[in-house]
Chains A and B, each alone.
Chain A
Amino acid sequence: MHGRRAPGHAHPPAGRSARAVSTPFDFVVIGGGPAGLAAAVQARQLGLTVTLIDEQPEPGGQIYRAVERAEAEGRAAALGEEYRHGLALARAFRDCGATYLASHQAWQVERDGRVFATDGTASRLIEGHRVLVAVGAIERPVPIPGWTLPGVMTVGAAQILHKSIGLLPDAGVWIAGSGPLTLHFAAEIVAAGGRVAGILDTARASIPGTALAHLGGVLRGWRYLAKGLGYLAQLRMADIRRVTGVEAVEAAGDSRLERVRWRVGSQWNEAPASGLLLHEGVIPNTQVTLALGCAHDWDPVQQCFRPRADAFGATDVEAIIVAGDCGGIGGARVAECRGRLAALGAAAALGRITPEDRDRRAEPVRRELEGHDAIRGFLDALYSPAPELLAPSDDVVACRCEGVTAGRIREAVSLGCLGPNQVKSFTRCGMGPCQGRMCGPTVTGVIAAALGVLPQEVGTFRIRPPLKPLRLGELAALADEERAA
């Protein structure tokens, strides 16, 4: 090896090589739900330059999805008063002077505040001094026997079909699960003139039971409770069958769903089903903050991971802030408050307002937040997921992309795999198109239960770009742009 010279032993420069759409924005918001919209409006009021990126064509997020269109088409009234609250929010956002990248999916966020987003054709770079991650919640996966059969889907997916294109389920469809959304959605269907075959309620506590401890909170949050009771009355009036105390649900059928089975006490029952909509509450969508390497903590009450954040949503990564359900489930009104706080925090961090000014402005928001937050403890106790959902039995499929069962995961653990990433290498679980978005919580749950430790100790899948499947051409466009420069 004498005198050998390396041909150009230089690495390409790391970092900021791609061109931004324009100069950096003060505040880049990912997600146009109540948290993101409220944050954008608040940030503009404080004089920050703002871009909001959202994959939907219209502002509103999950709960106020397509609210402007529903209003224009006269459908909003049927979707309820709460839904129309979103209209005011959407309008305030439209008027606030933020740049709005609708129908743009953020597929990579970097720790220095760069965000890569695609409109489905080409990718672009948006730079922010602060980035607000306000990507909302995802439904907790419901791995029951038969959940991968065609004909079984989540309540959330059915709701999206309803809110965005007005599609109603047919009368042979069952709803099974717990969490406010099951009742809410059933009532929504009834109000729109539809029907469902019945509701299998898996909520574990009854209102006077465990939740009694939270009564103080309930009284302050009475508006919410009235809403819950209102749903029940609506469903009774429409004569929708509701089975309570359901402890287990199974989907059955040969190549698609034909029957639903459920157990109350030791009694199994069965009914024909043309569809089955599952829902066991929502958990924070932590894909973005996990990919960023932000610190996360296991929330033992809500049984999910959430990013570690201060009162203004600041994470342990300087440029990254969280607000709304992706930082911890709180519901739409809480998300809105947290969005406003995030904007105040960002403005102060960027030196646009003083910490005193921030705190003064935050005070009324905090008080409002307390009122909304009070109900949370009650709902959490009422709707805490059954242990077998977090760690299903051996024959249940955990990862549907690669067809990996909970039993396979346990086997990997018994062979010495101590964490989700090692299990992934062993079993391919989480390597499919969804990249562990669906099976991640289950994998962590199964490993934790098998090892007898808390999920915090087990951790989560490492999340790698892209956050959502991206076409190669959309990625290549970044380099094309640079070459043209």
Chain B
Amino acid sequence: MREADAIVVGGGLHGCSAALQLALRGRRVIVLERRHVGRHASGINAGGVRRLGRDLAEVPLSVQGMPYWHRIRELVGDDCGFTACGHVKVAESAQELETLEKRARTVRGLGFDHEEVIDAAEVRRLVPALAPHCVGAMVVRDDGAADPFRTTLAFGTRAREAGAAIEEGEAVVGIERQAGSWLVIGTRGRYRAPVVVNAAGAWAGRLAALVGDVFPMRTRASMMIVTERMPPFVLPVIGAVGRALSFKQSPSGTVIIGGGQQGRADLDQEQGWVDVTNLAKSAGAAAALFPRMRRARIVRSWCGIEAEMPDRLPVIDFSPGAPGFIHVFGFSGHGFQLGPICGVAVADLATRGTTDLPIASFAARRFAVAEAA
């Protein structure tokens, strides 16, 4: 039996980030990860570090999270491959441009000025390789991208250096309440702590169920494509109003294409299966905006899985029923950028029982409330 102040289940970015912040506050923390750090969504996502276009409920937290990325080396001792290359969401018609302008006004109305609408000439200047029919775009100039596996690993490594223990190859199979504390049962060992953090990604619903919390959620299986190396031709990360697309060229020259087209998830096998007919839509979207891409060779595609909530917003909150049990999951396709700041929020909850960070929209009870209504 090992004792700790907190046990974190899941060694993705959110688990490692929470562990790091807890360790920095001098807490004894153990991370239990079934496979290895960065094995799932956190290690294989598109690496987009984006405020642009976020759900309005997420904007405040996302904005407060951005400085962590701009100073990521100070936090974890590695630059995580982060570059503030900018994000551009293109409009292909006057109507789409109007949508962007409306959105920018709304966001300004809430007191945020990171989103900026630009005209065709400026788009052309920022992204010369873009198909000429694009009429404008929204940009966030200091959004960026990072290397997801390297980032997750850096958070894990830094957490260890700060004193956290990370047990890889340890799956949590049971959780019991015992004498005012939690007994966490793994396949290899037993652990006891007053606080448990559920950062189990796609499997967070199963973990929650162990303490009686049932959430309406499903599993996303987002797919990605990577091409062979190409000469540099695009700097920012590109999205589009009218297409499911995220498109970026990595520093090594490979082009990484995502955007949320769905494959098939298999929670039991712990893997996603690529659905190539859906994948073809991503390929089509990329080729429509960058005609030169038609001839680019795809070397690999893959599929990552994670939890999605009905409103596509995460749960960052104490369990409504299980004391000291903290949920941080359900990032619904866009939790990478929130990784560093959420660690702070979780550590606040774990150590102070509350946080000043804007997480009210992510309450666990919102689903129960909606059901009762």
Q: Which residues of A contact B (CB under 8 A)?
A: 1-6, 9, 11-12, 14-15, 17-18, 108, 116, 123, 125, 293, 416-418, 422, 425, 431-433, 435, 462, 464-466, 469-473, 475-480, 482
With both chains docked as a complex, state the minimum distance between the C-beta of B220 and any C-beta of chain A, in angstroms.
8
25 inter-chain pairs at a CB distance below 8 angstroms, sorted by A residue, are A4-B311, A9-B310, A12-B261, A14-B263, A14-B264, A15-B264, A17-B277, A17-B278, A18-B277, A116-B276, A293-B269, A417-B36, A418-B36, A418-B169, A464-B274, A464-B300, A465-B274, A470-B297, A471-B294, A471-B296, A472-B227, A473-B287, A478-B277, A478-B280, A480-B284
Q: CB distance B295 to A471 under 8 Å?
A: yes
**Is residue B96 contacting chain A, with contact meaning CB distance below 8 A?**
no
In the complex, chain B residues 269-312 whose Cβ is within 8 Å of any chain A Cβ? 269, 271, 274-281, 283-284, 286-287, 293-302, 310-312
**Is residue B47 contacting chain A, with contact meaning CB distance below 8 A?**
no
Q: Which residues of B contact A464 (CB under 8 A)?
A: 274, 300-302
With both chains docked as a complex, state the minimum distance between the C-beta of A346 and any C-beta of chain B, in angstroms.
24
Q: CB distance A472 to B283 under 8 Å?
A: yes
Q: CB distance B284 to A479 under 8 Å?
A: yes
Q: Which residue of A has the minimal Cβ distance to B43?
A: A425
With both chains docked as a complex, state the minimum distance between the C-beta of A171 and any C-beta of chain B, in angstroms.
36
Rounded to whole angstroms, the CA-CA distance of A11 and B310 in the bound complex is: 12
In the complex, chain B residues 317-373 whose Cβ is within 8 Å of any chain A Cβ? 361-363, 366, 369-370, 373
Q: CB distance A472 to B286 under 8 Å?
A: yes
Q: Which residues of B contact A (CB under 8 A)?
A: 36, 38-39, 43, 57, 149, 168-169, 218, 220, 225, 227-228, 261-264, 269, 271, 274-281, 283-284, 286-287, 293-302, 310-313, 361-363, 366, 369-370, 373
Q: A418-B169, A425-B149 are in contact. Are A11 and B262 (CB under 8 A)?
A: yes
Q: Is the interface of B mostly helix, strand, loop or mixed?
A: mixed
Q: Which residue of A has the minimal Cβ distance to B332?
A: A6
Q: CB distance B298 to A472 under 8 Å?
A: yes
Q: Which residue of A has the minimal Cβ distance to B39?
A: A422
Q: A470-B297, A472-B295 are in contact. Are A479 and B280 (CB under 8 A)?
A: yes
Q: Which residue of A has the minimal Cβ distance to B279?
A: A475
Q: Which residue of B has the minimal Cβ distance to A478?
A: B280
Q: CB distance B298 to A475 under 8 Å?
A: yes
With both chains docked as a complex, state the minimum distance between the C-beta of B168 and any C-beta of chain A, in angstroms.
7
Q: Which residues of A contact B261 (CB under 8 A)?
A: 12
Which of B263, B279, B293 has the largest number of chain A CB atoms within 10 A?
Answer: B279
- Could you list 12 further interchain pairs (A-B, Cβ under 8 angstroms) beyond the known A431-B299, A469-B297, A473-B287? A1-B57, A9-B310, A11-B218, A18-B276, A108-B276, A416-B36, A431-B300, A465-B276, A465-B301, A470-B298, A471-B295, A477-B280
Q: Which residue of B has the minimal Cβ distance to A473?
A: B294
Partner of B366, one of A1, A6, A433: A1
Nearest 9 A/B pairs, CB to CB: A473-B294, A478-B280, A479-B280, A18-B277, A1-B366, A476-B283, A476-B284, A475-B283, A469-B297
Rounded to whole angstroms, the CA-CA distance of A470 and B264 in the bound complex is: 21
Q: CB distance A18 to B296 under 8 Å?
A: no
Q: CB distance B299 to A469 under 8 Å?
A: yes
Q: CB distance B299 to A432 under 8 Å?
A: yes
Rounded to whole angstroms, the CA-CA distance of A457 and B105 in the bound complex is: 57
With both chains docked as a complex, state the minimum distance between the C-beta of A16 and any C-beta of chain B, in angstroms.
8
Rounded to whole angstroms, the CA-CA distance of A482 and B39 in the bound complex is: 34
Q: Which residue of B has the minimal Cβ distance to A436?
A: B300
Rounded to whole angstroms, the CA-CA distance of A480 and B225 in the bound complex is: 18
With both chains docked as a complex, state the minimum distance between the C-beta of A409 and any C-beta of chain B, in angstroms.
16
With both chains docked as a complex, state the minimum distance between the C-beta of B49 and any C-beta of chain A, in angstroms.
19
Partner of A425, one of B38, B281, B300: B38
Q: Which residues of B contact A471 (CB under 8 A)?
A: 294-298
Q: Which residues of B contact A477 (CB under 8 A)?
A: 280
Rounded to whole angstroms, the CA-CA distance of A351 and B295 in the bound complex is: 44
Q: Which residues of A contact B362 (CB under 8 A)?
A: 1
Q: CB distance A478 to B276 under 8 Å?
A: yes
Q: Which residue of A has the minimal Cβ distance to B36?
A: A422
Q: CB distance A1 to B361 under 8 Å?
A: yes
Q: CB distance B283 to A479 under 8 Å?
A: yes
Q: Which residue of B has the minimal Cβ distance to A108?
A: B276
Rounded to whole angstroms, the CA-CA distance of A9 and B308 in the bound complex is: 10
With both chains docked as a complex, state the minimum distance between the C-beta of B241 and any C-beta of chain A, in angstroms.
14
Which of B168, B297, B361 has the largest number of chain A CB atoms within 10 A?
Answer: B297
Q: Which residues of B contact A116 (CB under 8 A)?
A: 276
With both chains docked as a complex, state the minimum distance between the C-beta of A18 and any C-beta of chain B, in angstroms.
4
Q: CB distance A472 to B361 under 8 Å?
A: no
Q: CB distance B280 to A469 under 8 Å?
A: no
Q: CB distance A435 to B297 under 8 Å?
A: no
Rounded to whole angstroms, the CA-CA distance of A464 and B262 in the bound complex is: 15
Q: Which residues of B contact A11 (CB under 8 A)?
A: 218, 220, 262
Q: Which residue of A has the minimal Cβ distance to B297?
A: A469
Partner of A473, one of B228, B275, B295, B310: B295
Q: A1-B363, A475-B283 are in contact. Are A14 and B262 (CB under 8 A)?
A: yes
Q: Which residues of B contact A475 (CB under 8 A)?
A: 225, 276, 279-280, 283, 298
Rounded to whole angstroms, the CA-CA distance of A18 and B275 in the bound complex is: 10
Q: Which residues of A contact B227 (CB under 8 A)?
A: 472
Rounded to whole angstroms, the CA-CA distance of A15 and B263 in the bound complex is: 9
Rounded to whole angstroms, the CA-CA distance of A465 and B370 in the bound complex is: 41
Which of A2, A15, A470, A475 has the largest number of chain B CB atoms within 10 A?
Answer: A475
With both chains docked as a complex, state the minimum distance between the C-beta of A50 and any C-beta of chain B, in angstroms.
23
